[in-house]
Structures are given as C-alpha cells and as structure tokens.
Structure 1
C-alpha cells in the first residue's frame, strides 16, 4: 500500500466544502452551508464564486450547456454567465429539512444524486436519478446521510455510501437505468477502523477503483474493485469530504474539506480546515461525462 501527504492548494475556509469536479479546464466545488459555488483555475490561480438561493450540494456539466446544480429543493439549471438558477424538478417537498448532498453522471448521461436530513438525524435520505429532465426515486433503501454515488468508468456500476452506517454498497445498473439490490463493497465498522472516521464522498478512477474521503479521519483512501486498499493520503485537517480527479493530464487529485463539526479548540488547531488540497495519483480520471438534461 502507498502512503502520501496531501498538499495545501487554496485557502477557502469552507464550512462544508463538497462536490469537487473537474470540468474542462477548471475545478468546480461548493460550500454547501454557505450556498456558494466556486470555480478555480489552478493554472492561473483565478477563483470565482456565485451565490445560490439555497444550500447547494454539487454542480455537474450538461450536454445542453451550462451546469446542473443540486440545490436543497431539487436539481436546477445553473448558468454561470448570468448567475441564474432555474429549477428542473422538486424532490421531497414534504421534507423541507432534507437537501441534496452528492451526485455523479452515469454512462447514459443520467445524474444519480442523493438527499439527506440536513439535521443528520432522520433516515429520510434516498437516491434519485435525473434522466432527460425527469426525476425518479430509486428503490435503494433510505439512510440518514447519502454520499457518492460514484459511477464506474464502464457506467454500469454505482457505489452508494451510507455515511453514518459506515458502509459502501455496490449496485449494478440495468439497461433501463434501475439499480439491483446490491452488495456490501466496503464495511468500516470493524475495530481496526474505529479511527477512520466516516466514509464521505466517493469517486471512481479510470481503473474502476474508488477514492473515498473520510470525515473525521484526516485521510482519503483508494480501494481497488476487489475492495483492497491501495493508497492512503493523509491531511493536516480532520474532515475530508470528497476527492476529484482532473487537471491538464487527469493525474491530479483535488480534495475538499470542512470546518463543520469541529470544536473551537479543533478549529484553532486546524487553521487549514475547509480549504482545498491536492496530490498526484497513479491512475487518472476516467473520460468526462455530461448530463443528458
């Protein structure tokens, strides 16, 4: 197994940094609790930001232009040129305390995204699919905090993270876009992993391995398709939320972090909490996808 240290890249001080994704020539990410979308160009150091009208969990590129943003009430079309957000569909309107949390695009351009209880108490988080403008709830069982989903490079497997359950479930995606019952891919409840924190955001590389950030664990880890851990990246902050792969050659990893949940003493001890970090990887990002909505 390989062990390395992440490097500090950008001071952001995000309350809850999340959703990093490489789109063309820049990294996009969000601060969920501050309703902020960021675009960072590592080559120039340019950082832009937009205010969303609600908590925002992610942005992903659309084949129709612009971005699709996961706002608290549901997916929206987001136009960076004007800063406008237009709702595509409402999700769980009967649960106003729920919000969208994380997402990924499959091989057919469908966006898989999860919801969660913003108070992190009730098992009301479920997984939806946005396909050509239509949102459908999957049959995956509800959990308190959904994370991922991550999609394999072949586009036929989805990895769903049950953060508080400390498990990652792998599902096969049928031709009609529905997931099967799934199997446990990773279980972090063993005694040897009590200091690992909770599995958070997930992403797949070109070999189909899964990168996981660990909230409260000061690390990101890579797991091969058979579940074997191959790499561990240590951070000088506790809460690692998600890793994105990109850069000019696809071999650069970017990781978002969070200040949320830290005590006053912990924040003083972790002045870089909420910032953006980077490290190099041996396996690059898979080919980029765009949403069909």
Structure 2
C-alpha cells in the first residue's frame, strides 16, 4: 500500500523531526525512542548515526555550525564532528515524566518547540521559545501531546497540534516573541489518523503526517485539503521539504506500537520515504545558540 520511495530503511522505533540541511544538502532526523540522530544523503543513500544521551525529539541547524538539539534533559548544542552534546538550558526540570517532541525555527532564528507527557496521558505538554539565551513558555494552553509547531513563511502564524484532540491550531505570532489568539485550523477525524508533525511550504501550505493514517496531507492556508499522499507505513510522523530544488518531501515513520501482524504488513515501518511536490519548501533559518 502507498507511494513514496525509500531513502532510509533503518527501522526507527519512533522516527521524527526531519529537517533538510542546505549547508550540505542532507536530511537529518531522529529516532526518539532509539535515542539516535541520523543523517542521510538522499542522492547516494549514505547515512550516519549518533547516539544521544537521552530521548531526543529534534535537531535544527544552528548559527556557527552544528545543531541545537531538544532532549528529555533539555536543550543541547550538538556537534556531529565531535560526537558531542553540550547542555544549553533546562526546559522542565520539575516534570521528569515529560520529554521534548518537535520544533521549528522562526525567521529571527528563535526555536519554537513543544513538550509532552511521555506516558501520553497527562495534560503537561507546552509550547516554548528559545531565543539563544533563555527558554520562555508561550501562552498556548497545555495538551498531553504537542506537535509542530510550524511557522508560516511570513512569520505571522504559528501552527501547533493537539495530537490526541485531533486538531491543528493556528496562533497569531506577535512581534515574533509571543502568541496571540488561537483558532482551529483543521480537525481530523480519528478514523483518518492523528495529526502528528507539521511543516509549511514556501506558499504557506501546511503539511502534516498522520499517525495511524498511512499518509501525509497538505492543507491550504484556508484549511482546504489540497493533497493526500498514501505511504507504506501506518504511523507517519512528520514531513520535511528539501532536495536541491526544495521539491522533495521526506516523511519519517515509526515502528513502535505495531504488533507482529502489523509489522509483517508494513515491512518498511520506521523508514524515511520521499515523494515529489509541486510547491517547494524553504530552508529553516539557522537557530540561535
């Protein structure tokens, strides 16, 4: 079932956080539960992996080289050349049952990221902002599992996901530093899957992976469904847009929670898939550190 060519077939337990790094035309992503950072060159298929010191939700390219990484133990500077994670900041030191889950970078280089209850029940997931110096909580209400956020190309709207609630919300960004009122952008029926990670393309369309939905969807800025791409794994977690022309979509997926029958039916669960898109993505701004 499904379309999409395979660019990495390493069987991630919980593949997440794909990001295209235009500095060397490579795709980076993480396996949260496997505690790994992965890099793949889609042209050659060559890949490399790094073990993280804790569950890792994301890495984003940073000013000055390397990455900022979101770990259960806080924000870290990740230097792949030195295989080194340097602690930058705590996020929720009083919530040991939480972990970090997903992130993006705004036009000013600030990282917006979310936390979640690792047990997926408590209403303790929040959206935060890192400006290179400190972590600030946003005004967005808590949910058990945050996903996203993603930011519109003009920097005026932040999309964030209540995965268990099945809703993608849109919030106004005020001077890039806080969030205003939130509105419902798209509601997805449980039988279609649960909205996971989101990203935006250069026209402001919103791509989302559907956990349990065997697909990725693209919505216009007004919430109209533009496209659905079936993929050969049930749990599609997030889309990154990249490739040298920005017109390749990369989809991470997960094996976790699948029984033997499901794994037999989805031999490529946990792979990274690729498919072509008409509207190109855009490089994430380099994150402040």
TM-score range, shorter chain: over 0.9
| CA deviation after TM superposition for structure 1 residue 176, in Å | 5.3
Q: What is aligned with 1:16?
A: 14
Matched, 1:263 2:259: yes
- C-alpha contact (below 8 Å) 2:75/2:90 kept by paired residues: yes
SS of aligned partner of 1:33: coil
| CA deviation after TM superposition for structure 1 residue 286, in Å | 2.1
Q: What is aligned with 2:62?
A: 62
Deviates further, 5-14 or 219-228: 5-14
- In 1, the alpha carbon distance for the partners of 2:193 and 2:257 equals 12
- C-alpha contact (below 8 Å) 1:211/1:220 kept by paired residues: yes
- C-alpha contact (below 8 Å) 1:212/1:242 kept by paired residues: yes
Q: What is aligned with 1:5?
A: 3
Q: What is aligned with 1:46?
A: 46
Write out aligned runs for 1:164-179 (5 A): 164-175=164-175, 177-179=177-179
- C-alpha contact (below 8 Å) 2:105/2:284 kept by paired residues: no
| CA deviation after TM superposition for structure 1 residue 71, in Å | 0.6
Structure 1 gap segments, 5+ residues each = none
Q: What is aligned with 2:201?
A: 205
Matched, 1:253 2:249: yes
Matched, 1:230 2:226: yes
CA change 1:121–1:87 in 2 (3 A) is same
Q: What is aligned with 1:195?
A: 191
- In 1, the alpha carbon distance for the partners of 2:176 and 2:104 equals 17
| CA deviation after TM superposition for structure 1 residue 64, in Å | 2.6
Matched, 1:138 2:138: yes
| CA deviation after TM superposition for structure 1 residue 94, in Å | 1.0
CA change 1:227–1:50 in 2 (3 A) is same
SS of aligned partner of 2:6: strand
- C-alpha contact (below 8 Å) 1:106/1:156 kept by paired residues: no
- In 1, the alpha carbon distance for the partners of 2:283 and 2:64 equals 18
| CA deviation after TM superposition for structure 1 residue 133, in Å | 2.4
Matched, 1:279 2:250: no
- In 2, the alpha carbon distance for the partners of 1:142 and 1:283 equals 33
Q: May I ask how many residue pairs the two structures share in their alignment?
A: 286
Structure 2 gap segments, 5+ residues each = none
- C-alpha contact (below 8 Å) 1:172/1:180 kept by paired residues: yes
Q: What's the TM-score once normalised by structure 2's chain length?
A: 0.97
- In 2, the alpha carbon distance for the partners of 1:256 and 1:283 equals 19
CA RMSD of aligned residues (A): 1.1
- C-alpha contact (below 8 Å) 2:7/2:45 kept by paired residues: no
